[in-house]
Amino acid sequence: MRRKLIAGNWKMHLLPAGARALVERIRAEIDPLAATLAKDREVMVAPPAILIPAVAQALAGSSILLGAQNMHYEDKGAFTGEVSPPMLLAYGVTHVILGHSERRHIFHENDELINKKVLAALHHRMTPIMCVGETQDEHDSGRALDVVLRQLQRGLENIGDDHVIRIVIAYEPVWAIGTGRTATPEQAEAIHGAIRGAILERYGRERADAVRILYGGSVNDENVDSLVSKPDIDGALVGGASLKADSFARIVKARTR
Ligand code: PGA
């Protein structure tokens, strides 16, 4: 059985005191249920890089996992402004979101760069959450599946059989991010099924069944149940609603079947 993953992406929000307060409120809701929830799901939050030390401290003793929103693929060097995998590991970061559509479209990250980062994450035994998703234009012109499968194939370049099961894929249609417009569970499930089909073709049934595929894009406490109860939707990558402790806690407790 694949364990669901509910991942909060805080994007460029909060200051240290607010981040600590948010963690405290989330913990108050989630920690008492940790043993039950742990049976079939994991919970992660990804603060901005500079808040990682404060959030790591606030998470001490909790089962909530710590993620990063991005990283460089080199361990160190002359890369002004960047953060390396060992720096994240030093603070207990276990997961890293890579190739988020905001990284792709605002900061012009391409599939080749994202693939290098995925390989670096695997090398450092971190869990990469590799994002794929089509824009509004691509969606409207019926190219969603082509775009998503191309991003997937390029993102998985040079990733062997033993490693693919450690990758989490996040399908995030760009037109649904921060817009309040979610893909319907049926739309999302169709793309998730196709992603799993492509993994199956290349890596075989057992590995395709092990890879988790999250949905992201305007997930909230009202629509989460219908999304994550679909067989190929293994959790959610949550932006806006992850900044509100009560909404995020409710999403974490989603009904999954
Ligand atoms: P949203 O963001 O939930 O605010 O739409 C999701 C994401 O960008 O990961």
DSSP-derived secondary structure for 206-239: HHHHH-EEEEESS--TTTHHHHHTSTT--EEEES
Global pTM?
Answer: 0.98
Write down the pLDDT at residue 46.
99
Is residue 8 in contact with ligand 1, taking CB distance under 6 Å? no
Is the C-beta atom of 9 inside 6 A of ligand 1? yes
Catalytic residues, by residue number, are: 100, 172
252 closest CA partner among 95, 30, 39 = 30
With beta carbons less than 8 A apart as the criterion, state whether 249 and 30 touch. Answer: yes
What is the per-residue pLDDT for 128? 98
Is residue 164 within 8 A of residue 207, CB to CB? The reply is yes
Measure CA of the first residue to CA of the last residue in the chain; give whole Å.
Answer: 13
Query: Which atom of ligand 1 lies at the shortest distance from residue 177's CA?
Result: 5
State how far the Cα of 129 lies from the Cα of 114, in Å rounded to an integer. Answer: 11
User: Cβ–Cβ contacts within 10 Å for residue 24, how many?
Assistant: 11
Q: How many CA atoms lie within 13 A of 70 on its CB side?
A: 20
Ligand 1: which of 130, 238, 244 to mutate, most ligand atoms within 8 Å of CB? Answer: 238
Helix spans in the chain (H): 16-30, 34-37, 52-58, 85-89, 101-105, 111-123, 136-140, 144-155, 161-164, 185-203, 205-210, 224-228, 245-252
- Ligand 1 centre distance from Cα of residue 233 (Å): 16
Position 257 scores a pLDDT of 83
Q: Give yes or no for residue 97 CB within 6 A of ligand 1.
A: no
Q: Residue 136's pLDDT is what?
A: 96
Beta bridge partners of 65: 44
- pLDDT of res. 210: 97
State if residue 239 touches ligand 1 by the CB under 6 angstroms criterion.
yes
Per the CB < 8 A criterion, the answer to whether 100 and 77 are in contact is no
Mean pLDDT by runs of 10 across the 257 residues of the chain is 96 98 97 93 98 98 97 98 98 98 98 98 98 97 97 97 97 95 95 98 97 98 97 98 98 93
Distance CA 62, CA 27 (A): 7
Best residue among 70, 96, 177, 215 to mutate for probing ligand 1's pocket (most ligand atoms within 8 Å of CB) is 177
Output the CA 173–ligand 1 centroid distance in Å.
10
Q: How far is the CA of 67 from the centre of ligand 1 (A)?
A: 15
Q: Is the CB of 178 under 6 A from ligand 1?
A: yes
Residue whose CA lies nearest to ligand 1 atom number 6: 239
CB 170 within 8 A of CB 237: yes
CA distance linking residue 253 with residue 226, whole number of Å: 13
Residue of 70, 130, 237, 247 best suited for mutating to test ligand 1, as the one with most atoms within 8 Å of CB: 237
Residue 215's DSSP bridge partners are: 171, 236
Give, using CA atoms, the residue closest to atom 9 of ligand 1. 239
